[in-house]
Amino acid sequence: VVCVSSPLLSTRPCSSATVKEAIPTSLLGLLESPECQPDPSSPPGPPSKPETENVTNNSVTITWKRPYDGGLEITGYIVEHKKEGEEEWVKDKSATPLRITEFVIANLQPGGKYYFRVSAMNAEGFGEAAQTEDLIELVDRMETPEFELDAELRRTLVVKAGNSIRIFVPIKGRPPPEVTWMKEDIPLKGRAHIDTTESYTLLVIPDLRAENDFGIGEPVEMPDPVRASQAPTRPEKVNIADITKNSVSLVWTKPKHDGGNRITGYVIEAQKKGSDQWSHVTAVKTLDYVVKNLNENEEYTFRVMAVNNSGRSDPCNSRPVVVKEQNTEPEFDLHGICHRSVIAKAGDDIKVEIPVFGHPKPSISWKKDDQTLKLTPRVNTEDTPVSTILSIGECTRSDSGQYSITGKNMLGTVTEIFTVKVHDIPGPPKGPIKNSTCGVLYQGLYNSWVE
């Protein structure tokens, strides 16, 4: 069935009846047929064309904008790269499909040229990929030095004599700029402590002295040592990774600046809809956490703050989320296995990690050539909370074959298949070797054997 749309000759506002009158009867019947009605849901559309940021000689940051979701929630993104002159797209590793719209691709070939593409997925599958228009050459970019001055620093700072002053300024630029602090056109020296890295510069004067027309007053000793740091900036994003009837899984990205001191952890708080109060949930050192024991069908907002020895950052909030069970059928993502074929050289180690989706969590089983996969010290499988992994140590030609994975939960069963090919040098020919003489045209000796 082919669906056809017909433009109207008039651009004036019209009713649905007027539209029908403008379309031939034969075409109107086709357009109103069930086959031509749009599906209520479909895979998502392509994201916006990926843009590159922070290009170095072996890494690049890819950003994009959300696509049309196909009528269903977008559950993640897949990022791939392809080197100039090659046909194969390589999936950039992530434990699960990305929930955010940016990704840092590292460990690329220094100076190489690459294409990058991004595709979105929802419960109906993967959508069309969006690709960078031009080849991206991995070279260190030159950037003019730039300061990110806080609004407070643009005004006169008033500090009581005897107190300390601490000024933290994020900086940008490539190569990393040299930073000079000056007072009335004279470089600061002596009591000023200056700490400069690639991403910030920090000025600390621990014992400010009063000054007037008659000179500088006596210094006042601080009772406690001054630490050259301040609270970090807030985490960049807080995303919802999973929802059950009584829990929410949070994932966030670390702050852009650590405030000049190592981040020691993150504080998580929650707020119910309709309440002004934030409740402390926990403090963790990781970039993810599962908030449990929540009330089913209640709406919550979560926020995360970074912590160092100087204090807490400003909070970064999640989107509001309703706590309820979201059951889905099992699904495997084989997007990272090119043409569903794994090719290795004999003696290599093979590791295939396949993201797994579905709620309740599917049970996983493996087969090779339609037989249950035999696990040995060399061949084994592992299930993580978000994926299943096949590992083959020092592979041999006998490991070649068709591998299948099956996921099963209360909503259904799904099986996916891929092939493993192990290339090896030929084995020795079979004897015995037979010696024969050549014909009249060439006198000599040749050997023959059985393969």
Whether the Cβ atoms of residue 9 and residue 22 lie closer than 8 Å to each other: yes
Supply the DSSP symbol for 318. Answer: P
* Per-residue pLDDT at 270: 93
Residue with tokens 């015995």: 432
Give the highest mean pLDDT range of 6-10, 165-169, 419-423: 419-423
The H-assigned helical ranges of 367-440 are none
The span from the CA of 270 to the CA of 109, in Å, is: 43
Q: Tell me the pLDDT tens digit for each residue of 144-154.
A: 888 776 665 66
Q: Tell me the pLDDT tens digit for each residue of 78-123.
A: 999 999 989 889 988 655 667 778 888 888 888 899 999 999 998 8
- Indicate if the pLDDT at residue 14 is higher than 60: no
All structural domains of the chain, each given as residue ranges with its CATH number in brackets, are 1-37 (no CATH), 51-137 (2.60.40.10), 144-211 (2.60.40.10), 238-322 (2.60.40.10), 341-423 (2.60.40.10)
Alpha carbon distances (Å) from 249 to 39, 240, 318, 395: 31, 6, 11, 37
| pTM for this prediction | 0.35
- 1 CB-near residues (< 8 Å, 6+ apart): 30, 33, 35, 36
Q: How confident is the model at residue 159 (pLDDT cuts 50, 70, 90)?
A: low
Supply the DSSP symbol for 85. Answer: T
* Per-residue pLDDT at 342: 92
pLDDT, greater one: 216 or 267: 267
Q: How confident is the model at residue 245 (pLDDT cuts 50, 70, 90)?
A: confident
Of 292, 231, 294, 305, which is closest to residue 266 (Cα–Cα)? 305
The span from the CA of 77 to the CA of 47, in Å, is: 9
Alpha carbon distances (Å) from 263 to 80, 165, 172, 392: 31, 22, 21, 38
Of 373, 382, 376, 425, which is closest to residue 401 (Cα–Cα)? 373
The span from the CA of 110 to the CA of 59, in Å, is: 8
Q: Tell me the pLDDT tens digit for each residue of 345-359.
A: 899 999 999 988 887
What is the overall mean pLDDT for the chain?
78
pLDDT, greater one: 7 or 404: 404
The span from the CA of 449 to the CA of 427, in Å, is: 13
Residue with tokens 């029908």: 20
- Across the range 295-303, mean pLDDT stands at 92
* Per-residue pLDDT at 15: 41
pLDDT, greater one: 49 or 38: 49
- Indicate if the pLDDT at residue 186 is higher than 70: yes
pLDDT, greater one: 226 or 423: 423
- Indicate if the pLDDT at residue 166 is higher than 80: no
SS3 34: helix
- 39 CB-near residues (< 8 Å, 6+ apart): 71
Q: Beta partners for 404?
A: 367, 417
- Across the range 215-229, mean pLDDT stands at 48
Decide: residue 193, CB within 10 A, 0-12 exposed, 13-18 middle, 19+ buried: middle
Q: How confident is the model at residue 10 (pLDDT cuts 50, 70, 90)?
A: very low
- Indicate if the pLDDT at residue 11 is higher than 70: no
SS3 27: helix
* Per-residue pLDDT at 317: 93
C-alpha atoms less than 13 angstroms from C-alpha of 347 in its C-beta half-sphere: 2
pLDDT, greater one: 156 or 323: 323
SS3 156: coil
Phi and psi torsions of 18, nearest 5°: -60, -40
b/e map of 291-311 (b: 16 or more CB within 10 Å)?
A: beebeeeeebbbbbbbbbebe
Name the token pair of 246.
Answer: 């009584």
